[in-house]
Structure 1
Amino acid sequence: MQDLSIPEAASHAILEAGRRMDRFGWVPATAGNISVRLGPDRVAITRSGRHKGFLDAAGVMQVDLAARPLDSNARPSAETGLHCGIYRRFPEAGAALHGHSVAATVLSRLAGDTLTLAGYELLKAFPGLPTHDATVAVPVLDNDQDIPRLQAEVERRWADMAVIPPGYLIRGHGVYVWAADMPAALARLEAFEFMLDCELALRRVRP
């Protein structure tokens, strides 16, 4: 019989990520969600309705890659399907983070289909960019409460991109990023949020 327990290291990584994101104000109220890949067909993810800054082990559950709960009748995050879409598309992805920062929410409302980041030293946090002298077009998706439909649109956008950045924005909502493991995902999120803060500051001084 398959062991469906969540490894302590995975649960700890999610809890610590929630506290870190909360300290930066990226997961207000019960917003945001956090996940870790447990294997080829299992994901540990935050349960719905839990404040990410005060998570305990009971706030983490398992789903399969179709976003179906495996180990309880608990309700996973509403956007579990977007996490699973990341893991299905990118076998190297080991952790995914979703936050609702002010900068991500505001800039995604002002942007078109993409938000361009260029010239930032922290672009080095994105794979294949060894220098600040680079430009990344971050996809911006219209918000949709129909998660399968939204994920289908994400996949359509990915199919049109020669190089897929490890992150995207949902308009008026927030940001998704992923990486090989939780430390890398957190570093990537922090770099992304720093650049978004800079972009928002530039719009204030350059109306």
Structure 2
Amino acid sequence: MTANLQTDALVEACHWIGAKGWAPATGGNMSVREDAQWCWLSESGKDKGSLTNSDFLKVEIATNQAPSGRKPSAETGLHTLIYRLFPEANAVLHVHTVNATLLSRIEKSAELVLSGYEMQKSLRGQTSHLDSVPIAIFDNDQDIDALARRIEHYATERPLNYGFLLRGHGLTCWGRDVAEARRHLEGLEFLFECELRLRQLEKL
């Protein structure tokens, strides 16, 4: 897939995300990989629901630098980390949904474990609702380089699949292409909403 086709698909996904209210107040950031060296990342401060192809910047994966001199997203280092860690990842979506943000604060452990939901099968490789699906949770940090190092360290010791939560911040997920990343996002968001409602009901 060429860069133009990739960014076309990503722009469509961004409009879908914006319509759902999952990237409010210009929050969130999205990217696609061009090749082993470059990715295209949303420009900082742009409303994700109205992005165009020209709102994506070419960024070097190894250095986080944008040759254009324009400012990529504040979380650029997390996107490039995912591309370095996972050669199969070709699209990354970072959103600020209410469900993901709240669950990341309610769950005090380092992982949110999902089990018993049929929608787990929306995640690549998952074939049964009986499986346990751990979603890593990392404490939020304004120092993105430090946060990236913590995530990288985690990934050397335990599987890091589909995505992760940043506590009080939101969800970052990825896929082999934009369509898979979008499916992972929608599936995880459904699972988060179910889990959040279940925990609320259990307290009644």
Equivalent position of 1:114 in the other structure: 111
Does 1:137 pair with 2:141?
no
Q: Which residue identity is paired with 1:139?
A: A
Aligned counterpart, 2:50: 54
Aligned-pair identity in percent equals 40
SS of the residue aligned with 1:75? coil
Separation in structure 2 between the aligned mates of residue 99 and residue 169 of structure 1, nearest angstrom? 10
> Structure 1 residues 127 and 14 mapped into 2: Cα distance closer, same or farther (>3 Å)?
closer
Which residue does the alignment assign to 2:151?
154
Which consecutive aligned stretches of 4+ in structure 1 deviate over 3 angstroms post-superposition?
Answer: none
For 1:126 and 1:56, the matched residues in 2 are separated by 28
SS at match of 1:145: coil
* RMSD (Å), alpha carbons: 1.2
Q: Bigger CA drift: 60-69 or 121-130?
A: 121-130
**Aligned positions, number:** 200
Q: Which residue of 2 aligns with 1:42?
A: 38
For structure 1, the residue ranges without an aligned partner over 5 or more in a row are: 1-5
Gaps of 5+ in 2: none
- Please, which of 13, 17, 20 is the counterpart of residue 17 of structure 1? 13
What does residue 3 of structure 1 align with? Answer: none
Contact 1:126 1:165 in 2 (8 A): no
CA distance in structure 2 between the aligned counterparts of 1:56 and 1:35, rounded to whole angstroms? 13
The equivalences for 1:1-207 within 5 A come to 7-65=3-61, 66-70=63-67, 72-111=68-107, 112-161=109-158, 163-207=159-203
C-alpha deviation, 1:127, in angstroms: 2.9
Tell me how far apart the structure 2 counterparts of residues 35 and 19 of structure 1 sit (CA, whole Å): 14
Q: Which amino acid in structure 1 is aligned with residue 64 of structure 2?
A: A
Using the size of structure 2 for normalisation, the TM-score is 0.95
